[in-house]
Amino acid sequence: MMFTKYSKIAYSGIAVLGLLFTQPVFAQAKIKKQATLDYSQYVDPLIGSAGHGHVFVGANVPFGAVQLGPANVFEGWDWCSGYNYASNTILGFTHTHLSGTGIGDLNDILLLPVTGKVPLTKGTKENMEQGYGSYFSHKNEISKAGYYSVLLDKYKIKAELTASERVGFHKYSFDSADDSHILLDLADGLGWDKPMKTFIKKTGKNSLVGYRLSKGWADDQRVFFAIEFSEPIVNMALYDSISSVKGNEGEAVRMKAVLDFNLKKGKTILVKVGISPVSYENALANIKTEIPHWDFAKTVQQAKTKWNAELNKIQIKADEETKKVFYTGLYHTMFAPSIFNDVNGDYRGTDKKVYEKAGFTNYTTFSLWDTYRALHPLYTITQPDKINDIVKSFLAIYQQQGRLPVWHLMGNETNTMNGNHSIAVIVDAYMKGFRDYDVNLAYEAIKKTSMQTRAGMNYAQKLEYIPADVELESVGNALEYAIDDWCVAQMAKAMNKQDDYEYFSKRAKLYELYFDSKTEFMRGKLKNGQWREPFNPLASSHREDDYVEGNAWQYTWLVPQDPYGLIKLFGSEEKFTKKLDSLFTQQEGVVGDNASPDISGFIGQYAQGNEPNHHIPYLYAYVGQPWKTAKLIHEIADKFYTSKPDGLCGNEDLGQMSAWYILSSMGFYSVNPANGIYVLGSPLVETATINHKNGLSFKMTAINYNKENIYIQKAEYKGKPYTKSYITQEMIVKGGELKLYMGSTPSTTWGVKKEDRPL
């Protein structure tokens, strides 16, 4: 569907006549503000901590720079967050983590309370006695939103953690008369991370400062810190790895400090650790501003209050189990992007220069290949106050590195994964009326980024296919580029740049060149014009073939910007539907000597565990068979989203896995990530109320909902019949009630007519 209907879509901030506004337009009528409820009681941070979920476990606040939690002995890929529920080891507590990623990094600034002798090397999974660290039991572990505690068996110390945006707050309760110590280790990060230079300096009887410069996934990561203790340091011993360093300060590759305290049995010590991307002076200022007191319980309550303020933005009515899965999922959507500047506004750019007193909140940790699909569209509904700053963060990165971010981490471009999906995020924001940034610079950034020559983009510029024998991942790259090019075209059209609109519209259609009508799959094509042979649509290897963490079965549907164009390639709705049906019934497994572990959560060949699949169940709406979407949504939710530690079937990927569930629970999903349309599926809750900041709300009510009544029979919006199988951003932000009347059998009329299908 190259966009003949585009101007008819009613976006917030863009009327059908094309009037442009600088902010989203909300309805005039307001409703009574809903009471803030304790939805944090339903959050279980351990959900998704086992298996391949890779979620962060510990204490943080929404979008906080500090994510303070336990660090297990690293055992491989499923420990990318630093913690996996399968472990019974804790080496210490670190202040930076990643949640749900497929690569490990961070785990900076490790603290461990210790009694007795302090080893300078880590314990192992098999032997914790000879090194530092302790075994623990999940029976003695508590994990809540903004709070974590655990009993360290080896030392008989209860460790409690909480946090503000930039400060980690520790409480250690000693139950031993032995000597009391705290180990500070800057030597080790996680997985791919290694230290390059570290520094520790004692600045007072109760304080330290320092930094950790490291190289890992983030190639040049710089974390500065300040630490304050509630008790005086009796003695400090510094080490470079295991070699003693004299004096009160030391700089080396692997600095450690053993801090002695004069504590009696049952005594408690409190520790505040501020971090900064700029300096330890700023880290100290972050402590003084955010947690100037020593009231640990107060900070726990403040963290809980912050979480509840966010969780209350969507209030649902559902059974207790569903509430637990839903609110834990909503919680997981707010770990990233994370704040990347200090309380005074300072931040360190991609060019490693310090930018002082920035007039916006700078963010980092952008897993855009994942999150552009649903997480960022969700933010335009639930986080409207953050959208402009996210775009400003992108534009700052553009000015510093010459192109928009691909996968940005701690001021570093990792170039991980495919596409240029910051484009989709910017265009979605622009088209929904978010304009509090330099719009002309934004267009310059998306156009220049689209005109790179890396990873096959030089072929797209010439309106040619990417040869599979020239570039790896040619199909995966090309299909993702086409989505971004469609987005550029829409912003060009809105800004009256007709030549650009026509050019990028042609690029957005290049996906057609990869479709083999004989096999009905998207395939790699060689530079001589022939399809790559031999061809097995089930084959997948890890980043070494024509696809990206997937196979031909999964990638054939990656045209969310133009489903009707994809249907046309198949020749008819019937052929398209038959092939789509077979995706969910193909029983043979993925094959390949080096198949990606990211491909998980199977229904047939559909893989819920990997993001390029997420829109596929909703494609049935485009052929007038929405009941098939409804059945699949419930099957996916029941199978792959549970309240157990392995309750996620794949990597959380900084919120995308959960964003799919949050939107789908409310009965809709953002198939096209940047057109303001949400395709209706089947709600997983009785009611869902989205509360806007200014007191407006949009409410979805599922009439006659139960586990059997999963099919929409008819709909009403604001009391009037509503026949469309989609809703718009404008409907959500203007508020009102959408009633979905549910039944146990598919409706033969609702959403069937072509005029009622999604735009």
Of 639, 686, 693, residue with least CA distance to 666:
686
Q: Read off the pLDDT of residues 701-755 as tens digits, 9 standing for 90 and up.
A: 999 999 999 999 999 999 999 999 999 999 999 999 999 999 999 999 999 999 9
Q: What is the pLDDT of residue 13?
A: 35
Q: Read off the pLDDT of residues 108-134 as tens digits, 9 standing for 90 and up.
A: 999 999 999 999 999 999 999 999 999
Q: With beta carbons less than 8 A apart as the criterion, state whether 340 and 349 touch.
A: no
| 39 within domain boundaries | no
Write out the H or E segment, with its range, that includes residue 207: strand 207-215
CA angle 372, 373, 375 (to 5 degrees): 70
What is the number of H-type helices and E-type strands within the chain?
A: 17, 38
| 421 within domain boundaries | yes
| Overall domain count for the chain | 2
Q: Read off the pLDDT of residues 595-610 as tens digits, 9 standing for 90 and up.
A: 677 789 999 999 999 9
- Both 417 and 392 in one domain: the answer is yes
- Both 298 and 362 in one domain: the answer is no
- Please give the share of the chain, as a percent, with pLDDT higher than 90: 90
- Both 323 and 294 in one domain: the answer is no
| 329 within domain boundaries | yes
- Both 262 and 325 in one domain: the answer is no
| 593 within domain boundaries | no
Q: Which residues contact 269 (CB under 8 A, 6 or more apart)?
A: 113, 171, 172, 174, 180, 182, 229, 230, 231, 261, 263
- Both 610 and 540 in one domain: the answer is yes
- Both 296 and 370 in one domain: the answer is no
- Both 428 and 571 in one domain: the answer is yes
- Both 450 and 578 in one domain: the answer is yes
| 591 within domain boundaries | no
- Both 355 and 280 in one domain: the answer is no
- Residue 479 scores a pLDDT above 60: yes
Q: Read off the pLDDT of residues 212-234 as tens digits, 9 standing for 90 and up.
A: 999 999 999 999 999 999 999 99
Distance (Å, whole) CA 51 – CA 650:
8
Both tokens assigned to 521: 């799959």
| 43 within domain boundaries | no
Among candidate residues 289, 309, 329, the one where a domain is terminated: 309
- Both 59 and 171 in one domain: the answer is yes
Among candidate residues 294, 309, 324, the one where a domain is terminated: 309
Both tokens assigned to 270: 């409190």
CATH of the domain at 335: 3.30.2080.10
CATH of the domain at 250: 2.70.98.10
- Both 249 and 217 in one domain: the answer is yes
Q: What is the pLDDT of residue 6?
A: 29
Largest CA distance in the chain: 81
Of 647, 636, 70, residue with least CA distance to 332:
647
| 34 within domain boundaries | no
Distance (Å, whole) CA 40 – CA 199:
38
Distance (Å, whole) CA 112 – CA 182:
6
Q: Read off the pLDDT of residues 141-162 as tens digits, 9 standing for 90 and up.
A: 999 999 999 999 999 999 999 9
> In angstroms, what CA-CA distances link 521 with 524, 576, 680, 711?
10, 11, 27, 30
| 210 within domain boundaries | yes
Distance (Å, whole) CA 168 – CA 440:
39
Average pLDDT taken over every residue of the chain: 93
Among candidate residues 264, 285, 309, the one where a domain is terminated: 309
Q: What is the pLDDT of residue 8?
A: 32
- Residue 346 scores a pLDDT above 70: yes
Q: What is the pLDDT of residue 692?
A: 82
Q: What domain range is 467 assigned to?
A: 6-26+313-584+605-756
Kindly give the pairing relationship between strand 180-185 and strand 141-144.
unpaired
- Both 229 and 125 in one domain: the answer is yes
Distance (Å, whole) CA 312 – CA 695:
12
